[in-house]
Each structure stands twice: as C-alpha cells, then as structure tokens.
Structure 1
C-alpha cells in the first residue's frame, strides 16, 4: 500500500493532507468499534475532499495520506507521546497498547515524509498548504465548544498566516489565530517540510460540520482557492520588493 495518494499538478503550490484517510490495514487490529472510524478521531472529516478540489482548481500537486491517524499520526514528531494513540477524545484504542512503534514508523511515517521531502525538492513550491479539519466540540467536554469556522496555524513563520487570517476575517468568516490548536505546539509536518526549508505555508483548519457534505466542500474549495491565490500573490510581491 502506498503511504500517500499523489495528485499530479504543475502549479507552484503544494497541498498536503496528513489525516485524509480512516484506513486501517487488515493486519492491524485497533480493538475498537468500527463505528469510531467515521469519527474525527480517525480522520479529518472533509479534508480529503477539500484537498482534492483545491488541487484541481489550482492545478497543484497534492499528497494525501492513506492511513488513519489512529494507526499513526503523521502530523507528529516520531518521539511524540501521541504518535500512536492509546486514547483519543475519551475513546480507548486498546490495540495500540502493544504496537511496535519502530515498525509503524518505518512502515508509514518515514515513507510518508520521504515522499513529501522528495516532492518539495523536485517542485520547490512557492507555498505549501496543509489542509485539516476540526470537530465543533470534543466528546470529552474538557474544552468549550469551538466558535470558529476556520483556523490558521503557524509556528515561527507567519508570512502566509498573517495575510490569510486578515483576509478570512474580512470575508466575515470567524477565524482562529492559532486556534483551535496552536501551531507552536502541533505543527510537525509544516515544521519539517516548510519552516525547515524556508518555504512559506498555510496550515488551514476547517470546522468539519462545514465540509461534511458536497455543498460545504464546494464552498470551502472556492474560499481556499481565492485565499491561496491572494496569499501567493502577496508573497510574490514581497519577494519582488525585496530584490
């Protein structure tokens, strides 16, 4: 099984979706009710459809992960405690208690990130866009319901994030600035392939009830197409002014 679905494109933007799939390989038993695989703990609901639609509109290449985050979370450093989750939003994942961490990293995490690194080297994109979704509220109830429709995540490099937050706000879209998660804490894929290589990036989070049906996906593909185009042009103008 390939660790990433690859979408070809000739554009100067690269689209990534770390949590695009809820697939669990047949030889891995998570010990959970299969009904959990349609929940946000297993997959970023709607993110794959948005990523594909955005890639099509921009003519951009994309890489979409093909394994569930319950098997291994590809947007975590290899030494992160939550890399192979034993509990997720209050649900026990008993099959992961005895998981071979080294084997899962070698089988899924390492080749996925090698594929991204190879694409970045070959393409040298002007902008990397990482697409995620978040649930309106955690089932555990340990946090307040999330009022945002979208969030923009970033760590040290806010070159793309700042104009993106401003533009989304100007469209009347309630947008979290490093919410509902902070990119200073959860930003592994972008830290590795964008910040470490000097490439600007957008870490986009969309509330999953807004992209759980085709109409919502279409709406957000349109929003993100406009957003990415505006941010890319803003970055290009900045580079031109600096030369």
Structure 2
C-alpha cells in the first residue's frame, strides 16, 4: 500500500514485527518549496540514509514495514506536534527558508502530513498489535555543525521507559564485535516522539540508529537487514 503519506510493505501480523521508519524518504511533495539547494535532499538533514533499503530487505512473512513518504524537512513526524522543529527552519547549519511559516501555513502542513501519518500508523498498530515495533533510524558519522564530536558507534539503541527489548538487543550486538551506543548518539528519553506517542506502555519497541556510512549501499543494507532481523527475532522469542 502506498500514498503521499506512507508506504506499507508486506502484511503486518499479530505478534509479528513491524518496522517503522519516520525518515525513510527525501521526497518533496507537490506544492512544497523549501528554498534549499537540491543536493541537500541527498544528505542526512533530509533523509535517514539507508533505512528504506534496510527496511525493504527485512520484509518477509511475519515482518512488515511502515515507511514515511516525505522528507523530514517537509515535516518531521518524529517530533511532538507543537515542537518548533516539526517544520524545521534550519538543520545542521542549513537554513530552510520555505519553512518560515505563519500559523495557518504550519497548520496546513500538519494537516497534510503529520496528522495523517500518525493516524495511519495508529490504525495499523491498534488493528494488528505486533509483538515488536522496530523504530529504524540512521545517524550521520559527523555533524557539520559539530565537527569535533566523535561518533564512533556502529549502532545506537534508544529507549524511554521501556528498556526491556534494548537490554536483550545490546549484548547480542556487542557479541558481534560492534561498537554499540546505549542511548547514543543521543538519548531516547529526549528523541523518541513517535514511540512515545504510539508504543510506550502499549507495544514493545526497539529503537535503533545505524551509522549511515554502514548502510549507504546495497551490500551494507543487506548485511544490516539480516543482522537486525536476527536481533528482532531474538527479542520476540524472549518476550
């Protein structure tokens, strides 16, 4: 299933795995002019590089994927609705002049993108009740605005109150010789809006951030899709 708002890949199953990726696309829908250079759409400010390819490769019987169909620069659905960054006016040092919206413009953006996305995701979750939600993101190896900040982790695991899946996943990933960030490169207590809204206290979830250079090509996406499939199967098997 595909719309302007989301793609649903595979068939969600009760007790199965649902992969959710809020930043899977760099698409700028018709009627939106952000006023930015075209090359920025291929950078981390516009899209979580690699996650769509990983998610697509994870889809199989018992595992489906719900992927956002517009750029986070148009509307960042992994933010609280009233947060200033839901329609960011700047990202990693780049101005986004098309997001200098008045109240009516901001409401129109939310009505077109943010609210339908979350309504559709809520319907899938409430109808299917998956056994595990994988919140799939990726992070840039280096922020242009903070070049001094080292980001050595291969993968970060994020969570808020429900850390049970994280406690299963972290040692499994470390056992593969990976550098794993526990609440790194940022904390799920602070950046967990979609999971807070839909899953915290309702559906078990595992929040992951894979370093983008590791999944920038098909080979990396295949490797990480298989790795995350195995980790999610282990989490599902122990719950």
Q: Could you state the TM-score of these two structures normalised by the residue count of structure 2?
A: 0.94
Q: Secondary structure at the match of 1:49?
A: helix
Structure 1's 19 and 119: CA in aligned 2 closer, same or farther, altered over 3 A?
A: same
Q: Secondary structure at the match of 1:205?
A: strand
Give unmatched runs, 5+ long, in structure 2: none
Q: Secondary structure at the match of 2:59?
A: helix
In 1, are the aligned partners of 2:156 and 2:181 still within 8 Å (CA)?
A: yes
Cα shift at 1:26? 2.5
Runs of 4+ in 1 over 6 A off after TM superposition: none
| Pairing partner for 1:207 from 186, 192, 211 | 211
Give unmatched runs, 5+ long, in structure 1: 236-243
Are residue 15 (structure 1) and residue 19 (structure 2) matched?
Answer: yes
Identify the range of structure 1 (103-112 vs 142-151) with the bigger mean alpha-carbon deviation. 142-151
Cα shift at 1:234? 1.3
In 1, are the aligned partners of 2:162 and 2:201 still within 8 Å (CA)?
A: no
| Pairing partner for 2:224 from 220, 227, 237 | 220
> Paired residue for 2:95?
92
Identify the range of structure 1 (3-12 vs 77-86) with the bigger mean alpha-carbon deviation. 3-12
In 2, are the aligned partners of 1:138 and 1:145 still within 8 Å (CA)?
A: no
Q: Secondary structure at the match of 2:76?
A: coil
> Paired residue for 1:240?
none
> Paired residue for 1:238?
none
Q: Secondary structure at the match of 1:122?
A: helix
Distance 2:54 2:62 in 1: 14
Are residue 195 (structure 1) and residue 185 (structure 2) matched?
Answer: no
Identify the range of structure 1 (209-218 vs 138-147) with the bigger mean alpha-carbon deviation. 138-147
The within-5 A match list for 1:56-205 is 56=60, 59-98=62-101, 100-141=105-146, 144-197=149-202, 199-205=203-209
Alignment deviations for residues 106-153 of structure 1 (CA, whole Å, 9 cap, x no partner): 110111011111001111111111110000010112651201000110
In 1, are the aligned partners of 2:26 and 2:41 still within 8 Å (CA)?
A: yes
Distance 2:214 2:146 in 1: 21
In 1, are the aligned partners of 2:4 and 2:70 still within 8 Å (CA)?
A: no
Distance 2:33 2:148 in 1: 30
In 2, are the aligned partners of 1:15 and 1:51 still within 8 Å (CA)?
A: yes
Q: Secondary structure at the match of 1:15?
A: strand
Distance 2:30 2:138 in 1: 26
| Pairing partner for 2:58 from 54, 58, 80 | 54
Cα shift at 1:10? 4.6
> Paired residue for 2:4?
2
CA RMSD of aligned residues (A): 1.2
Cα shift at 1:79? 1.1
Q: Could you state the TM-score of these two structures normalised by the residue count of structure 1?
A: 0.93
